[in-house]
Structure 1
Amino acid sequence: MCSPWDSVTEAHLAAALAVDKGNEAALVSWSFRASPDTFGHQRIAEVKYTLEGHESDVTYSVKCVGRGAGADECHALLFEKEYGFYEELAPAINTLLQETGQRSLRIPRCFTHARTETYEVMVLEDLTTRGFRAVDRRFGIDQAHATVAIQELARLHAASCLLQKRTEDKPLAQTYPFVGKEWTKAYKRGSESYEDILLKHVDLGVAMLEATSSRTRDITWLKEIRPKVWQMFLRQLESEEPFAVVCHGDGWSSNILFRYDSMDTPVEAIFVDLQQVRLASPATDIHALMAPNLTSSVRLQEHHSMMVAYLNTFRGVMEAGGAKIPFNLGSLESEYRDKTLYGFLSALIYIPLALQKGGGRIHPLSEEAGALIKDKEQVLEAVKKDRDMVPLLVGLLDEGEKFGLLA
C-alpha cells in the first residue's frame, strides 16, 4: 500500500519555493530530513535552489494526508480546517488588523496547498529558521512563557470578534464553514470514536489515582461522570455571545513555539497546527493552555496576572478597531469557571503523553497513542517513576473542586 508521502513531489516544493523566493528561484534538489515527529503527517523538507547565480538552502515544513476510500476522514477535516484558516480566515483577520494599525497574527506562512482525490499536501514555513523553538513538554511552561502565549491567544480571539462585528449580518460559521465543523464528532480510527478516547482517559485517570493516592472522592467522581463524559464535553464546546470567538483549539505546549531575547526570556509565542480551529468560548483555549502545561502552583499563583494580561490584550485589539470589549474581568472569570471541565479533560488526555520514554512526541490522534492506553501497566509504572504527573492531576482536581467540578 502506497504512503501518502509518495505523493509529495518536486512540483510541490517548487511551487512553495516560487512563492517564498520568487519565480526566478530554481529548485536544484530536495529531500526529507529525518524528523522526530511521530504524528505521521508532518516532515521537514530540505531544498537546494539557485537564485541570481547563487546556490542556497531553505527548509519547509510539509504536511500530507491521504484522501478517498479508506483514508482517515477526520484528518481530512483537520486539513480542511488548517488550510481554510491559512487561505481564508487569517488573511481576512490580518487585513482588518493592518487597517486598524496593528500587527498581523503570528502564524506560519502557508506557501502552497495541493489537493487531489487521493492526497492532500501543505507546504508551510519552517519556523525554526526565524529562531522559534519548542519547549520540552515534559517540564511544562512557566509564567513567562504562558503570558506571551495567552496574549497571542487574546489577539486571535479579539481579532475574530472584530471581524464578526464587521459582518454582523452573517455569522463567521457561514462565511468560513470549516470553523463550525467539530472534528471530535468526525473522529474515527477503526471502530474507535473520540468518545472512546475520552472514556479510556477517564479510566486511565482512575487507575493513576488508585495506584498512587487515596483520594476516594476524586476516584468516585471520575467513575460517576464516565457514562456521561462525552455529552458533558460537547456542552463545554457550546458558546454564546459575548463568549463566541475563533479558538485555536489545541493549545498544548507542543503546538506553541517561542522566540527568545539575549537573556533567554520568551518574547514571542506562535501557535502552530491550526487544524482544530473552532468557534467556541475563549475560556476553552485558556484552559487548554493552562491546565496541561502549567504546574498547579504556577497556575494558581499567576492566574490573576495572566487573566489580566489576556484581558488587556483583548481590549487593546478591540479598541484599536473602534469597538468595546464585550466582557470584563469578572464575567471572563465566571466563564473560565464554567469551562473548568474542558480544562480538566484536556489535561487528562495530555498529561500521560509526557510519560513517553525519552519525551518523544506522541499525539493522542496518532496510531502510536493507542499503545499508551492499551498498556495501562506501562503507564502506571512510568507514573511511579515520574512523581510530577499525579500531583499535576491532583492539583487540577483541587482547583476544579473550588469551581464546583466535583459537585
Structure 2
Amino acid sequence: MTCELLQFLKNALGIHSADNFRMVVHTPNKKGDGFLGDILFVTLEDSHLAYHLVVKQAFTDASVREMHPIRNVFLNEIHFYTNIWPRLDQFQARVPERYRFQNLPRCFGASAEERSERIVLENLKRQGFQVHDKKQPLDGEQYEMIMKVYGRFHALSFAYKALHPEEYAGLQLGLRNAFWDLLQRDFFKRGNVETHRICLQGLSGVDDAVTEKYSRYPERCNDLLRESLDCRTEYTVILHGDCWSNNVMFKYEESGALADLRLLDFQMSKEGSPCCDLSYTIYSGASKPILQNLDSYLHVYHDSLSSTLKAFGCDSDRIYPFHQLKKDWKRYCKLGFSMALMIWRMKLTEEGQVKDLQDMTKQSEEELRASAYDETEYRRITRDLVLHMFENDFL
C-alpha cells in the first residue's frame, strides 16, 4: 500500500525523476470526520522539496460499499475537480481578481479506479487554515464571509450558464445527485424519521400550533426532503452540496480577525437551488441571533452574487433577483433544515461515540441510537430551529 501510494502521489505531482522522495503519513483524521472514507495527511519530501498533502481514500469494505453510495460520491468529487472546476476557473479569468472564486483547496490528482478511488489535495493546515470547533455555532463574522464566498461561487455558475448554456448543461450532467442516492437507503430514511421524532418530543411546552404544524414531519420528512431536491426551476447552479461547518476551514490574522476561508468536500455537489447550500450552512451551524437576522445574511449573499454577475456583464435582477431568492428559500430550505437536525446530533456526540459508515454497517440500530450526545444542548438548538421555521412560515 505504501509503495503504491507513494508512486501514485509522485505521478499526481508530476515527479518523474528517480529522486529519493520519502513519504511520511501523519495522524489520520478523527473518526467520523471522513464519513465516506479515510483521510490521510501525508508529507512527500526529499532533501530539497516537501509537499504537504491530504489524501481522501474511499472505504474498500464490500459490505460498506454495498450499503452506501461511496463510489458515486467519489466520482462526483473527481468530476468536480477534474472537469467542472478547471472550466469554471478558466471562465472567470476574464473578470478582476476580487470577483473570482478561489476558496477551495488545490487538487493535484485523482483516481477513479474501482475500490481505489482517491483524491489528492493540498493540506490547508500548513497554510494556517483551521476547522471551527464543531460543537460551537459559527458567529456573524464567519457567516458574513461564508455568504460572500457562496455569492461568488454561485454567480460563477449563473454567469457560465447564461453565457455558455450548452457547455454548462454538459458540465452539470456529469454530477450524480448523491442526496437522491441517500434517500433510497433505508438507514438514511429511518435516521431522518427518528431525528424528527426526537425533535418533536423536545417541543414540550411550546405553543400547540407549533407542535401541530411540526407533527407531520416524522411521517413526511423524507417526502419533504425529496421535494427540496426536485429542483424544477430555472434558478439552479452547481452546488457545493455538503455545507456543514467541518467542510469550511478558516484562516485568521494575528489579531484574531477572520482573514480567509476555504470550502472543502464536493462529494455531494449537484445542480440545484442556491438555497440548498445556503440553508444547509445556516441551519447546521447558526446560533439563534443569526437565525433572527437571516434576511441580513441573505442580503450579504445576494450583494456578492450581484456584484460578481455584474463583473461578467450579467444582470442579477434578471438572472436571480432577491425576491426570487426569498421565494425559493421557503421551498428549498427544508433540505438544510432536515440535514441540520441530523448534523447537530453528530456535532454534539461525545468523542469516542462518533459513528462512521463501517459502524453503521456492523452495529444494530439500537447500538447506533445509543450514541451519547449532549441531549440538553441538542434540544435547545433544535427547538430554536423548529420555532424559526414556524415563525417564518417555512415548515
Band the TM-score falls in, shorter-chain normalisation:
0.7 to 0.9
Corresponding residue to 1:263 among 231, 248, 255: 255
Distance 2:217 2:113 in 1: 43
Distance 1:211 1:333, change over 3 A: closer
1:171-320 matches, cutoff 5 A: 172-179=168-175, 181-187=176-182, 193-194=184-185, 196-210=187-201, 213-215=204-206, 221-301=213-293, 303-320=294-311
User: Alignment partner of 1:31: what SS?
Assistant: strand
Who is 1:349 aligned against?
Answer: 342
Q: In the TM superposition, what is the alpha-carbon distance from 1:322 to its structure 2 partner?
A: 0.7
User: Alignment partner of 1:137: what SS?
Assistant: coil
Distance 1:240 1:33, change over 3 A: same
Unaligned runs of at least 5 residues, structure 2: none
The one-letter amino acid of 1:142's match is D
Corresponding residue to 1:87 among 79, 82, 102: 82
Who is 1:57 aligned against?
Answer: 50
1:101 matched to 2:90? The reply is: no
Distance 1:203 1:219 in 2: 16
Distance 1:107 1:69 in 2: 31
The one-letter amino acid of 1:319's match is K
Pairwise CA RMSD of aligned residues?
2.9
Who is 2:388 aligned against?
Answer: 399
1:328-367 matches, cutoff 5 A: 328-358=321-351, 366-367=357-358
Distance 1:8 1:254, change over 3 A: farther
Distance 1:83 1:294, change over 3 A: same
Distance 1:372 1:275 in 2: 27
1:204, 1:376 within 8 Å by CA — same for their partners in 2?
A: no
2:26, 2:40 within 8 Å by CA — same for their partners in 1?
A: yes
Q: In the TM superposition, what is the alpha-carbon distance from 1:127 to its structure 2 partner?
A: 0.9
Corresponding residue to 2:127 among 130, 139, 152: 130
Distance 1:27 1:236, change over 3 A: farther
1:185, 1:194 within 8 Å by CA — same for their partners in 2?
A: no
Corresponding residue to 2:137 among 135, 140, 162: 140
Distance 2:159 2:286 in 1: 30
Corresponding residue to 2:158 among 158, 161, 166: 161
Distance 1:25 1:389, change over 3 A: farther
1:47 matched to 2:43? The reply is: yes
The one-letter amino acid of 1:100's match is V
Distance 1:278 1:369, change over 3 A: same
Corresponding residue to 1:16 among 6, 12, 26: 12
| Alignment length (residue pairs) | 384
Q: In the TM superposition, what is the alpha-carbon distance from 1:293 to its structure 2 partner?
A: 0.1
Distance 1:139 1:227 in 2: 30
2:132, 2:245 within 8 Å by CA — same for their partners in 1?
A: yes
Distance 2:4 2:37 in 1: 12
Deviations, residues 136-180 of structure 1 (Å, cap 9, x unaligned) = 010021111111111111111110111111222x2734334232x
Distance 1:376 1:178 in 2: 34
Unaligned runs of at least 5 residues, structure 1: none
The one-letter amino acid of 1:264's match is G
Distance 1:147 1:361 in 2: 30
User: Alignment partner of 1:358: what SS?
Assistant: coil
The one-letter amino acid of 2:10's match is A
Q: In the TM superposition, what is the alpha-carbon distance from 1:340 to its structure 2 partner?
A: 3.0
Bigger proportion of residues as strand: 1
1:8, 1:121 within 8 Å by CA — same for their partners in 2?
A: no
The one-letter amino acid of 2:52's match is T
Distance 1:118 1:203 in 2: 32
Q: In the TM superposition, what is the alpha-carbon distance from 1:198 to its structure 2 partner?
A: 3.6
The one-letter amino acid of 1:75's match is I
Deviations, residues 183-211 of structure 1 (Å, cap 9, x unaligned) = 133349xxxx4454243233233235526
TM-score by length of 2: 0.86
1:377-388 matches, cutoff 5 A: 378=370, 382-384=373-375, 387-388=376-377
User: Alignment partner of 1:388: what SS?
Assistant: helix
Deviations, residues 115-147 of structure 1 (Å, cap 9, x unaligned) = 334422221111111211100010021111111
Percent identical across equivalent pairs?
16
Deviations, residues 6-53 of structure 1 (Å, cap 9, x unaligned) = 7952111212333xxx65693521132122332262333433423xxx
